[in-house]
Structure 1
Amino acid sequence: MNSADTRLGRELAKMRRMEGVPFWTLLASASLTLGMGAGVVAKSVQAAPIASVHVDTDLVREALKLRLPKTRIGAIDCSRFGGLCEVVAGTTLFYVDRTARYLMIGRLYDMETRSDVTAARLLELNPDLLAAGAAGKRDSDGDEQPEAASPAAAKVDLGQLPAKGAIHWGPATGPKLVVLSDFHCGYCRKLSSELVKMGARVEERPISIFGAESRKLAEAVLCAGDQQAAVHAAYDGRPVTPGAKCDTSGLDANEAFAKARGFGGTPVIIRSDGAVLQGFHTADQLKAFVAGGRA
């Protein structure tokens, strides 16, 4: 047992009688320690979908409200990890069973893809913290040590992006935004709903944060006959039927553009003048951003 696991054991003993800010402060610390401790935020981390029976996440949420009434629960995903549901509370990540009776704190591994799915999700939730932690020692499986992340750019030159890496959707007369995204990113999915709500004209540029499966889905959407329908199908978790083979080299350019500017997570929202806004934002916040203010 390493020092992180020992420390987690001591913290769990405290958590049993705690909730609210102290509870989740400790939980966030434990989650981040375990997510970063192995130094496994690798270049191709992915969380492949696993077939499972349908779970009503509304019922899971209600059960969590009863057991953790002071805790603000965010996204709940019961579709990818067999009998476990992934729960987001702020910048914290944990897992529960389908009845929300049992709560698990720690790393979840996909043994088929040899990937740490918890580290990948924590990278999405806390890109700056995890990028710093991932620069430490690599795990002992022989993978290359991840490179240290560059500071994220606050403004970019959109003229350096090629046309063929873009997927356009939304009304042609709507306010225009460029979005760097991953179709497997939960916050990108939530953002897409807000973009629809505000009537935005979106230039979506996929980057494969979650590895090969994300790239495969991005290629299917890019090559689809109806790209707008394909975007919404991808975010809804519905099958995307790819059209004829097309030039997907623009996706490589998207990823190179994001990496060079220090964007290690998604979504990244870019205004027409190149101003950058990272993370999920509501339709009202996006309208303020488009108008030239802060979200």
Structure 2
Amino acid sequence: MSVTDRLRNVLTGRRDRLAFLAGFALLSGVTGAVAASQVPIDDAKVAGLIKARLPKTQLTKVNCGKVNGLCEVTAGSNLFYVDHSGRYLVIGRVYDMQTRQDLTATRLLEINPDMLVGGAAKANAAPDRDEMPPIAQKAGAGVRQTSAPAPLQRLSMDALPKAGAIVWGNPAGRTVTVFSDFRCSYCKALSNALRSMNVRVIERPISVLGSRDIANQVYCAKNREEALHQAYAGEPLKNSGACDTSGLDANERFARQHGLSGTPVIVRSDGAVIEGYRPKDVLAAWIAGGKA
């Protein structure tokens, strides 16, 4: 074997050893990260860290077991997140892409069922504003509201084509039009409430949370009402094919033109509007002609 061949073998062996060591180090790092993520975090310890940094914020509950890497912090009707060190605070929404569930919206609904989507579903609330730095106060200026800053009073449906509507419920009941999103937890709660009431629902899906694919399937299903309830329940949609979905495009154009950026939006037959979820008894009284 020549000197060149021996040198090549030595270098090749060195590269193999280096590659092995690099791979082992990478695997060790990943294994360590996974192991670290499985170590239970002490909720009380994190709560103590938050209280030290935000003494004016009255904490209700700290839960570090729901979202990997984050602790969910409840402070009255407010909701925000911190990392396990209690140093970094996150104001926003957590969305589970695997289950397609808005975890923040679900939790906010549990905390306060009367909360309007117009303010609550766009972002979650922040801690006590006096403890937030100026930049964070500006960033969170619109997230503490429990109602939209300029709620709609009336909305005419005359410009909307019949296409794009999914009609369900009691044909002889009072009619309400609902702009909804199949990934909106509030819309699911509203659907369940309306389902138990003597009403006729004209549901018009709009893709606020990236649900257009689901809306297409529901709209093109042989039984739209059945498919609608399956979609809210997270069940596989049956008997769905391809069809003309231009009516759904019209729904979304109408929503943009009238500033419907949150869901659900409920429109009574006389044009009166509710932006957001309401409990069943409030809905029943409003649909009958009362005030929300």
Q: Give secondary structure in 2 for the equivalent of 1:246.
A: coil
Q: Which runs of 5+ in 1 are unaligned?
A: 1-7, 52-78, 93-119, 127-131, 137-148
Superposition pairs of residues 55-204 of structure 1, within 5 angstroms: 87-88=107-108, 90=111, 122-123=121-122, 133=139, 151-204=150-203
RMSD of aligned residue pairs (Cα, Å):
4.2
Tell me the CA shift for residue 17 of structure 1.
10
Q: Which runs of 5+ in 2 are unaligned?
A: 1-46, 62-72, 83-88, 114-118, 126-137, 143-147
8 A contact 2:182–2:232 mirrored in 1: yes
8 A contact 1:182–1:206 mirrored in 2: yes
Q: 1:237 aligns with which of 234, 237, 247?
A: 234
Decide whether aligned partners of structure 1 residues 28 and 273 sit closer, same or farther in structure 2, where only a CA change above 3 A counts. Answer: same
Q: Give secondary structure in 2 for the equivalent of 1:87.
A: helix
Q: Give secondary structure in 1 for the equivalent of 2:91.
A: helix
- The one-letter code sitting in structure 1 at the alignment partner of 2:107 is V
Superposition pairs of residues 9-28 of structure 1, within 5 angstroms: 11-13=50-52, 14=54, 19-20=59-60, 24-25=74-75, 28=78
Normalized against structure 2, the TM-score is what?
A: 0.58
C-alpha offsets along residues 39-81 of structure 1, whole Å, 9 cap, x if unaligned?
xx9xxxx946416xxxxxxxxxxxxxxxxxxxxxxxxxxx859
C-alpha distance in structure 2 between counterparts of 1:245 and 1:30, whole Å: 41
C-alpha offsets along residues 108-146 of structure 1, whole Å, 9 cap, x if unaligned?
xxxxxxxxxxxx9851667xxxxx95999xxxxxxxxxx
Q: Give secondary structure in 2 for the equivalent of 1:173.
A: coil
8 A contact 2:91–2:124 mirrored in 1: no
Tell me the CA shift for residue 283 of structure 1.
2.3
8 A contact 2:172–2:200 mirrored in 1: yes
Q: 1:35 aligns with which of 91, 101, 125?
A: 91
C-alpha distance in structure 2 between counterparts of 1:192 and 1:26, whole Å: 27
Q: Give secondary structure in 1 for the equivalent of 2:90.
A: helix
Greater mean deviation of Cα atoms: 224-233 or 275-284: 275-284
8 A contact 1:150–1:262 mirrored in 2: no
C-alpha distance in structure 2 between counterparts of 1:164 and 1:284, whole Å: 31
Structure number with bigger Rg: 2
Q: Give secondary structure in 1 for the equivalent of 2:204.
A: strand
Tell me the CA shift for residue 34 of structure 1.
3.3
Match of 1:269 in 2: 266
- The one-letter code sitting in structure 1 at the alignment partner of 2:212 is R
C-alpha distance in structure 2 between counterparts of 1:206 and 1:124, whole Å: 21
C-alpha distance in structure 2 between counterparts of 1:151 and 1:10, whole Å: 37
Corresponding residue pairs, total: 205
Tell me the CA shift for residue 19 of structure 1.
3.9
Q: 1:289 aligns with which of 262, 286, 289?
A: 286
Decide whether aligned partners of structure 1 residues 225 and 121 sit closer, same or farther in structure 2, where only a CA change above 3 A counts. Answer: farther
8 A contact 1:91–1:125 mirrored in 2: no
Decide whether aligned partners of structure 1 residues 227 and 29 sit closer, same or farther in structure 2, where only a CA change above 3 A counts. Answer: closer
Q: Give secondary structure in 1 for the equivalent of 2:291.
A: coil
C-alpha distance in structure 1 between counterparts of 2:96 and 2:225, whole Å: 24
Q: Give secondary structure in 2 for the equivalent of 1:160.
A: coil
Percent identity, aligned pairs only, is 37
C-alpha offsets along residues 163-210 of structure 1, whole Å, 9 cap, x if unaligned?
111000111111110000001110110111110111211000001111
Q: 1:50 aligns with which of 60, 76, 98?
A: 98
